[in-house]
Structure 1
Amino acid sequence: MAASRLAVRAKAAVPVAARLCRQADALAAAGRAEEADSVYRAALAADPALAGAHNNHGNVLRALGRPDEAASAYRAALACGLDLALVHYNLAAVLRQTGQTVEAARAYRRALVMQPDYAEAWNNQANLLRDEERLTEAAISYRRALAARPDWTDGHDNFATALYLLHERGDVETAARLARDWRRDHPDNPMARHIGSAIIGDSAEERAPDAYVRQTFDLFANEFDSKLAELGYRAPELLAEAVAMSGPEPRGDLAVLDAGCGTGLCGAALRPYARCLSGVDLSGGMLAHAHARALYDALDEAELVAHLTAHPSSFDLIVAADVLCYFGELGEVFAAACTALLPAGRLVFSVERLADDAELPPYQVATHGRYAHKEIYVRDALSVSGLALTMMTQETLRFESGEPVVGMVVVAVRP
């Protein structure tokens, strides 16, 4: 009799648990993680065998910053029979987060055995390998991610980083071989073309492709300011000093263009000079952050040379902080700036410096995708464009891998 009553109660608990589980799923989807956690616990108390509820509860616990509990939830899902690649992937992610790298690697391998085309698992396994400085293995894993998901922008960016790190470590041949494969397999991807060619060392591009610049900075937009702070980034500060030294006091009477404005890091320094402060950038993601600063009168998503050419005799001051490093040949952009400036208008910019070695070309793209320029080339290109050089100083623009990146801060005037 007692056993019969227990069976009835167990049967009644099943629809209650399912209803609670649906309620918890809805709360989780609405971003109400704390409430979802409570309801998942109630559902699993009613029916501990709900494997899907364990997995979804793990996702909520992870969102709440409780990775150890999330790992227990994912393990419970597996124990209840939800032996899926997704659950092993979820488990691997929280194990990596808590420093259990051996167990995380095992879980990623299990997920990939079950689902060999699981791009996210290949990518995150590669992240784990990169953390351990197993860079060749990481690059191969990123490549497998891209084979499964060829148009994945984040995957291409991660693969580019792995190749850059391999090259910097001295594994030049391995990096070049993998870059050739990357460029061959993804000929239409702008990052594969530009960074791949830079790492191989056979780039013939006079500037970085617009699609590459847009893709790179859209990816970078949300963490741009914090990452540059970590690198000791000084270009906005240095250009602000150059503006102050080279021209009149800030009286709010100039038409100013922040060329390649990005997230607007130069905006606060330029605003006191401006009757009208405009910004232009290729990346919509970066412009969204610039807009949030509420410093600009106008922000345009456009290619720089085209924008300058479309605004003849419009600006008293054009500032370009770490923008011309995405141009190799500078003649076209200098000529466009000269066209866009009013008489006596100033162009203030920074470029990375290439050593004045007779064996080096006038400009050269590095493995990170940016160009460096010889000082004599910058001087000649300004002269040909019709701009008069008034100031050029050598400065440390930022640090990379603990080493200073030396550049030039330049002021030129339209006569």
Structure 2
Amino acid sequence: MAGSRSSLRGGVRRGLAGIAVPPAVKLSRQADARAAAGDAAGAEPLYAQALAADPTLAGTHNNRGNALRALGRLDEAAAAYRAAVLHGLHEGMAHYNLGSVLRQAERQDEAEAAFRQALALRPDHAEAWNNCGNLLRDLGRFGGAAVDYRRALALRPDWADAHDNLGAVLYLLHEQGGEEDAAALARLWRRDHPDNPLARHIGAAIAGEEADPRAPDDYVRQTFDLFADEFDRKLAELDYRAPALLAGLLSDEEPAGDLDVLDAGCGTGLCAEALRPYARRLVGVDLSDGMLNRARARGLYDGLHEAELVGFLATHRLAFDLVMAADVFCYFGVLDDALAAACAALRPGGRLAFTVEALDPADGRPHRVATHGRYAHAEAYIRTAVANAGLMLRRCDRDRLRFESGEPVTGLVVLAGRPAG
């Protein structure tokens, strides 16, 4: 019996028909195993040896291209993908791989031709439509990019990245003078994806249609989950000042370190360093788990909660001495519920500090959602809403929150308090 098992294993090594595996194929398979283990540096020489033995292995050319791309050898990767096509790999994926590496190498015209060939061979490849859209966006062809993103979403309706890409390119199209085209495409986006939070909110803003009283929770969560890893870097590039401005409102008071403090919509924890000296207990709340993971890494919070803000405040009545909300209420149009909940969560004498984007008084409306999805508020509305919530307004300053597209964004920096009596 032992001899029979040994003979069977030997037969498997030679293949079912008893034909030995060619050396080039063996080398290619060894390279595939290394590539699958994440060892591109070890795989690439084996692919090269395999192709030296048999240059007609189209799939091996393609896989070598993948390894070369992982190693940053982009021109060589492009040559490998072209060799794969030359030797008969006439399928969409080879052309898609070629387009992707050419885009990475900033060879845009060649990349677009490769993507179009990939899509001609495989029109159901959502990733190819999305990446072709990315290429057109790089080239400033925003309308064409939007069309390609829509094609990707027709194939993968729930793909968050493609929705985010479409919203971003419609914003760019609108800001670069294509308001009518952007509005028309935004209306189609809303029509085709009525349950998607980005389509519902950003689509309405760009189309100039009636927006919700506040940004949908799913929109906020999805936006910041996607943005979490680059959030701090992006805001630094925009000279984001809201946390520092809010800290300035508190600077005339000695940080006794005995307050219960809530960082409302804490994000990655940019306010934590300023708040920590005031707090015996510092708590953060945010909708985005991705943002909370970054905040947790700072090690400055006593507790972090993934929750919707108004609901969280409503279940923590009289729990805090200070609530800070840096650029959080810009995701609310109507502020009544949020400010009332904040007042209820404050102890007598407690303070609420927050920022909003300032709406030009000439607009005439209390609040308005802009094409980037954030609401701006009129100062008169803020003053009225604060009073209606049972809070006393202590400061309402105008200052620059950040830059956007090279232009300063003016905001209102507000300090209010719950009466002590």
Please classify the TM superposition score into its range, dividing by the shorter chain length: over 0.9
Superposed, which structure 2 residues align to 1:273-312 within 5 Å?
273-312=278-317
TM-score by length of 2: 0.92
Partner of 1:212: 219
Q: Which residue, 201, 215, 231 being the options, matches 2:238? A: 231
> What's the CA shift for 1:33?
2.2
Residue 391 (structure 2) pairs with residue 387 (structure 1): yes
Residue 372 (structure 2) pairs with residue 374 (structure 1): no
Residue 159 (structure 2) pairs with residue 152 (structure 1): yes
- In 1, Cα distance between equivalents of 2:35 and 2:278: 49
Partner SS state of residue 82, structure 1: coil
- Which residue identity does 1:25 align to in structure 2? D
Runs (5+) with no aligned partner, structure 1: 1-11
- In 2, Cα distance between equivalents of 1:249 and 1:291: 27
> What's the CA shift for 1:243?
2.5
- Spell out, residue by residue over 1:288-316, the C-alpha distance to the aligned partner (whole angstroms, 9 max, x if none): 11111111111110000000111111111
- In 2, Cα distance between equivalents of 1:97 and 1:209: 35
- In 2, Cα distance between equivalents of 1:29 and 1:38: 15
- In 2, Cα distance between equivalents of 1:18 and 1:265: 54
Partner of 2:62: 55
> What's the CA shift for 1:116?
1.0
- Which residue identity does 1:280 align to in structure 2? V
Residue 343 (structure 2) pairs with residue 338 (structure 1): yes
Residue 158 (structure 2) pairs with residue 183 (structure 1): no
Runs (5+) with no aligned partner, structure 2: 1-18
Partner SS state of residue 266, structure 2: coil
Partner of 2:104: 97
- Which residue identity does 2:128 align to in structure 1? A
Partner SS state of residue 339, structure 1: helix
- Which residue identity does 1:192 align to in structure 2? A
- Which residue identity does 1:97 align to in structure 2? Q
- Which residue identity does 2:315 align to in structure 1? A
Superposed, which structure 2 residues align to 1:158-177 within 5 Å?
158-177=165-184
Residue 418 (structure 2) pairs with residue 414 (structure 1): yes
- In 1, Cα distance between equivalents of 2:239 and 2:77: 37
Superposed, which structure 2 residues align to 1:196-211 within 5 Å?
196-211=203-218
Identity of aligned residues (%): 64
- In 2, Cα distance between equivalents of 1:318 and 1:151: 36
- In 1, Cα distance between equivalents of 2:260 and 2:145: 49
> What's the CA shift for 1:268?
1.6
Partner SS state of residue 251, structure 2: helix
- In 1, Cα distance between equivalents of 2:250 and 2:27: 63
Partner of 1:243: 250
> What's the CA shift for 1:114?
0.5
- In 2, Cα distance between equivalents of 1:55 and 1:389: 66
- In 2, Cα distance between equivalents of 1:123 and 1:29: 25
Q: How many residues align?
A: 402
TM-score by length of 1: 0.93
Residues 13 and 250 (structure 1 numbering): CA distance in 2 closer, same or farther, change over 3 Å? farther
> What's the CA shift for 1:346?
1.1
Equivalent pair of 1:218/1:286 in contact (CA under 8 Å): yes
Equivalent pair of 1:167/1:175 in contact (CA under 8 Å): yes
Moved more, 94-103 or 149-158: 94-103
Equivalent pair of 1:91/1:104 in contact (CA under 8 Å): yes
Partner of 2:43: 36
Partner SS state of residue 114, structure 2: helix
Partner of 2:201: 194
Residue 22 (structure 2) pairs with residue 15 (structure 1): yes
Equivalent pair of 1:16/1:43 in contact (CA under 8 Å): yes
- Which residue identity does 2:367 align to in structure 1? Y
- Which residue identity does 2:33 align to in structure 1? A
> What's the CA shift for 1:14?
5.0
Equivalent pair of 1:14/1:47 in contact (CA under 8 Å): no
> What's the CA shift for 1:347?
0.8
